[in-house]
Structure 1
Amino acid sequence: MNPTSNAVQNEEGAYIEALINFRDVGISTKVDGQQYVKDGLIFRSGTLDQLSNDQVEQFIKAHNIKTILDLRTSLEGKDNLPIDKNFPTTAIENIKAIDLITADVTPERHESNQPETDHGRKKYRVNFAGRSFERNVVWNMCTLWLKLRLIFWILVGNKVHATLLVGSEILTPMGLPTMYKQFLKACKNEILDALRIFTDPTNYPIHVHCTQGKDRTGMVCMLLQGIAGVPEDVIVADYARTQEGLAPVLPQMIKEMAKSGLSEEFATARPEYMREVLTYLKSEYGGILPYLNSIGFGPSWQDRIRKNICPEAASN
C-alpha cells in the first residue's frame, strides 16, 4: 500500500477520533440513489472542543468548513480553544418581524459588522435551549416549592444543584420526545436565528453542533431536511444514526447526565422519538413546512435554503 495514502488516512483519522457523532448530512440522507442534500455542504457532530490545533487544521482542510453554528449555552464548553482561534464568533442581531415577511430582504442585513479574519471563517452561537425554554417551559412547569428551591440555590451560587433539580424534577419526568416538542413551541426565535444562517450561500460549508450533536442539532437538521424534501423515514434514520455515533462515549454520557438529574433515556436517540416529533408537527401544524410558515420562516426563506443545498434547485 502507498505510504502516502497511509499518512493521509492517519491524518484524517486524527481529527475524526476527537469528534463524536460526526457525519455529512448530504451523505446520511442519500437513499437509493436519491440525493436530497448535496454532499459537503452541511456537517453535524457533537462538540468541537476536543480538537487540537493540528486537528482543527485537518478538519478545515478535509471539509473546507466556512461557518460553525454552535447551539450550546454559554455555560457549555470553554473559551479560547483551538477551534475558536480559527472561527471567531460573530454576533447575530435580533430578527425583525417585518423582515421575515419581506422577500427581498437579504440575510446579511441582520449580521453584525464585526471584522472577520482574512480566511473568512466565522462561528455563530445560538443558545437553542436558552431563556425562552427556561422561562416558557421549565419555569412554568415548576411547582411553587420547586421555584423557591431553585431561587435559593441560584442565590447562593450553586448552579450545579439547581441544574440537578431541573433535570430530576422537570426534564426527566417530561421525557425526551416531549422536550423536543417543547423546543419547537418555545424556541421559535432561536430556530429562526439558526435557520437564517443557512439562507446565505457565502456561509457554506456549514458545521452545526451542540454537546452530543443529538437533541438541539437533531432538531435543526430535521427542519433543514424537511425544507429539502427529505422523506420522513430518511429523517428518522438519520436521527437514529446518532445512537451509533455516540456509542463510544455512551457510558460517560450516562454518568454525566445522571449528575444533571437526567435519566438514561436522554443519552439515547431511538427512532420512535423522532417519529413522535414528526407526528406532532403534522397533527399540530400540518407538517414541517407549515410549522416553519407559522413561526415566520415562510416560503421565500425556505427557497433560499433549497437553492443552497438541493441539487435540483441548484440546476433550475
Structure 2
Amino acid sequence: MKKSIILFLSLACSVQFALASVIDSTRAVAVKGATNFRDLGGYETRQGTHVKWGKVFRSGEISKLTDADLLLLNQKHIRFVVDFRSNDEVAKAKDRLPKDAAYLQLPAGSENLSSWMAQMTKLNAADSLMESFYGQTSHLKDKYQPFFKALLKQPDSSALLFHCTAGKDRTGIGAALLLYALGVPEETILEDYLLSNEFRKEENEKMVKGMVQMGIKEQVAKDLAGVKKEYLMATYNALISKYGSVDEFLKTEMELSNNDLATLRKKYTN
C-alpha cells in the first residue's frame, strides 16, 4: 500500500506529460455533432501489447449527431453505447444512437449535479470542489461495474462507445479505470485524460464565456471546463486510501477476476 501511495504521489508531482505521444491523427473521430469523440486505441501496455484501435470510443454527449455522423459510427461497428449522464441530462438531450446499437444508462453519482452547480456563483476557484467530486467512491460500483460487464460481453465484431455530457469527468474516470485494467501505465492514462483539454479547446472557451455571463467567476469557470491531473489523482488516491490499491478496487468493487482481466486484455489489446 505504501509503495502504491508513493507511486501515485510521484506521478502527481513529477510526471512530465508528453501529449504529443498520445495525440494520433487516427485518434479523433470526425463527427460534427459531438465533441471530445476519440478512439482509445494505440496505447502501449506494460506487457508490451497495445490497446486495439476501433474497439472502444469515448465522447461527450451525442444528442446532436448528424445522419452522416451516425453512418460513420455504423461503419465503425459501434453497437453498444454506455451513457453516464443523469436522468435530467438524458431527458434534455437524448442520445442519437447508431443503427441497432444497444443502450445502457448508468446515472449513479450524477443525481445532484444541478444543486452542485448552484454553488458556483459563490466560489472564487473550483479546484477543491472538483477534487472532492473526483474523490467520491460510494457510487463507483453502480456506475462502472456494469460498464466493465458490458465490455466483457462485447462480440469481437463490434465496438463500444461510452460518454457523459462533456466526455471529460465521468467518462475520464471510466477511461482511466479501463486503461488501468488493460495494463496501460499510469503516465499514459493521465496523458489520455488531459487530452480533453485539447479536444475540447474551442468548446471550453465557449463554456467559460457562458458561465461568466451567468455570474460565475472566470477562474471557477476555467476550473470546471477543463481537466487537471490533480482531479484524476483525487480518484486514484481515494481508491488507494479505501482499497489499498487500484488492483484491489477492480477485484472487489468491479468484481473483475483474474480470468475477467485476462479476457479484457485478450479482447481489447494485441
Q: So what's the TM-score if we normalise by structure 1?
A: 0.64
Distance 2:121 2:196 in 1: 24
Give 1:122's aligned residue: 102
Maintained 8 Å contact 2:36/2:58: yes
Aligned to 1:309: 268
State the Cα deviation string for residues 87-120 of structure 1 (Å, max 9, x = none): 5xxxxxxxxxxxxxxxxxxxxxxxxxxxxxxxx4
From 206, 223, 226, the equivalent of 2:177 is 223
Q: For residue 188 of structure 1, what is the amino acid of its counterpart?
A: K
Contact 1:15 1:59 in 2 (8 A): no
Cα contact 2:62–2:95 (8 A) shared by 1: no
Q: Aligned partner of 2:245: which letter?
A: G
Structure 1 residue runs of 4 or more that deviate by more than 6 Å after TM superposition? 79-82
Moved more, 294-303 or 188-197: 294-303
Higher helix share: 1
- Deviation of 1:127 (Å): 0.8
| Structure 2 equivalent of residue 267 of structure 1 | 225
Structure 1 gaps of 5+ residues are: 1-12, 88-119, 139-159, 312-316
SS at match of 2:191: helix
Deviation at 1:206, TM superposition (A): 0.3
Give 1:125 shift.
1.1
Which amino acid in the other structure matches residue 50 of structure 1? K
Task: Give the gaps of 5 or more residues in structure 2.
Answer: 1-27
Task: Give the alignment partner of residue 145 of structure 2, picking from 185, 192, 207.
Answer: 192
Distance change >3 Å, CA 45–CA 34, structure 1 → 2: farther
2:247 counterpart of 1:233: no
The TM-score, its normalising length taken from structure 2, stands at 0.74
Cα pair 1:69 1:125 within 8 Å, conserved: yes
Provide the residue aligned with 2:86 in structure 1: 73
SS at match of 1:66: strand
Tell me the SS of whatever aligns to 2:96: helix
- In 1, the alpha carbon distance for the partners of 2:127 and 2:196 equals 23
| Partners of 2:29 and 2:37 within 8 A in 1 | no
State the percentage of identical aligned residues. 22
Q: 1:70 deviation in Å? A: 1.0
Describe the shift of the 1:15–1:26 C-alpha distance in structure 2 as closer, same or farther (beyond 3 A): closer
Q: Is the 8 A contact 1:15 1:51 kept in 2?
A: no
The alpha carbon displacement at 1:186 in A equals 3.1
Residue 54 of structure 1 pairs with residue 13 of structure 2? no
Q: Deviations over 1:222-273 (max 9, x none)?
A: 1111110110000000001111011011122224556596642111112333
- In structure 2, the residue matched to 1:244 is 198
